[in-house]
Amino acid sequence: MAHCCLENTCLVLSHIIHWILAIVCFPLTLPLIIWVKVTTGKFESKKDLSGKTAIVTGANSGIGYDTALDFARRNAHVILAGRSLERSEAAADTIRSLTNNSGVVAWQMDVSIMSSVRAFVERFNQEEDRLDILVNNAGIGSGSADNTRTEEGLEKVMATNHFGHFLLTNLLLDKLKKSAPSRVVNVSSMAHERAVLDIENVNSEKKFDGMKIYGISKLCNVLFTHELARRTKDSGVTAYSLHPGVVRTSIFNTAPCAIQQCIKSTFCWFKSSEQGAATSIYCALADDIEPLSGSYFSDCKLRAESAAGKNEELAKKLWTASEDITTLKNV
């Protein structure tokens, strides 16, 4: 009974806070809202993807879902790689019924678990002949500042947002090369811009900072893209990183309550996930960007990444550290 009263009081309080924040935040965020609306990029192309295969990680919701939907509309064979087979199957069902594309399928892969990534690639290599587009989209926010570790001992935000995709891409590289011209698209964030990467602490072993880990993982996406582009030069594989914009998706659901309330009070002004997917689709399909392999995009345009994001030495060191942490070379 007392518990129930407390829950109701919390609910009422949360509504009051929501409205106060909405009233306070609206004028404060107005310039941001206008900026988002004015700069939202569009990619208009009739490119057909018949005969092409694409993998989109984290495609059961948000930006990944709309990316997969677009590829399906262009007749690609699309594999939705998600940690919950049930949620991915439901998304694949919807996409199939919207597009009449029976080549849209859901496969299980928890990108934060390296053995799951390896099992996914093993199946892929057995069942699929080619890979034209790999969109490394799955991601989680910082959520809590509790240094959660996966069962394999990896810090969870880094495991999901960087290590898993690093391993996945490397294990699929032969297939990408065989299918060239092919592309790797890494969904980063402008949150990378303020991040500082301590190369001696890539797996948060020395120190963990829950407020900074998301930005660091997104900086790793940018650095990984640079180094991948350098290593795949002249192979026909190209790589791009991007900021999708500020998009209303479930990624904010793990933010601390007050921040969540603040964000959600202005949610209707954010990009839709369809608008958020535009830059991923642009990086996967635009005709003229191959010479820009390694670059960072936003709103379907080339953008400057942070100074740390351009640091070639740091990118090389991150590659080596990631090889060790994911045991890429050992198995």
Ligand X SMILES: NC(=O)c1ccc[n+]([C@@H]2O[C@H](COP(=O)([O-])OP(=O)(O)OC[C@H]3O[C@@H](n4cnc5c(N)ncnc54)[C@H](OP(=O)(O)O)[C@@H]3O)[C@@H](O)[C@H]2O)c1
Q: Does 309 bind ligand X (CB under 6 A)?
A: no
Among 55, 79, 135, 187, contact with ligand X (rule: CB under 6 A): 187
State the DSSP string of 173-205: HHHHHHT-SEEEEEE--GGGGG----GGGTTSS
Q: Does residue 256 have a cis peptide bond before it, meaning omega lies within 30 degrees of 0?
A: no
Cβ 246 to ligand X, closest distance in Å? 5
What whole-number distance in Å separates Cα of residue 155 and Cα of residue 205?
Answer: 9
**β-strands 301-303, 296-298: how paired?**
antiparallel
Contact (Cβ atoms closer than 8 angstroms) between residue 18 and residue 261: yes
Of 145, 132, 227, 107, the closest CA to residue 184 belongs to 132
What whole-number distance in Å separates Cα of residue 147 and Cα of residue 205?
Answer: 10
Q: How many residues bind ligand X (CB under 6 A)?
A: 28
- Can you point out the beta strands (E) in 58-145? 77-82, 104-108, 133-136
Q: Does 140 bind ligand X (CB under 6 A)?
A: yes
Contacts (CB under 6 A) with ligand X, residues 50-109: 57-58, 60-64, 82-84, 87
Among 71, 92, 121, 244, contact with ligand X (rule: CB under 6 A): 244
Cβ 178 to ligand X, closest distance in Å? 25
Told to judge if 240 belongs to the known catalytic residues of this protein, a careful annotator would answer no
Cβ 41 to ligand X, closest distance in Å? 14
Cβ 317 to ligand X, closest distance in Å? 23
Nearer to ligand X, 82 or 309 (CB): 82
Quick one: DSSP state of residue 51? Answer: T
- ∠58-210-224 over CA atoms, to 5°? 50
Selecting among 214, 240, 282, 296, the annotated active-site residue is 214
**Tokens read off for 192:** 């990378």
Q: Does 215 bind ligand X (CB under 6 A)?
A: no
Q: Does 144 bind ligand X (CB under 6 A)?
A: no
Q: Contact region for ligand X (CB under 6 A) — 40-48, 133-141, 282-290, 323-331?
A: 133-141
Q: Contact region for ligand X (CB under 6 A) — 12-20, 122-130, 131-139, 296-304?
A: 131-139
Nearer to ligand X, 10 or 267 (CB): 267
What whole-number distance in Å separates Cα of residue 147 and Cα of residue 235?
Answer: 38
Contact residues for ligand X (CB under 6 A)? Answer: 57-58, 60-64, 82-84, 87, 110-112, 137-140, 160, 187, 189, 243-244, 246-247, 249-251
Which residues are known catalytic residues? Answer: 214
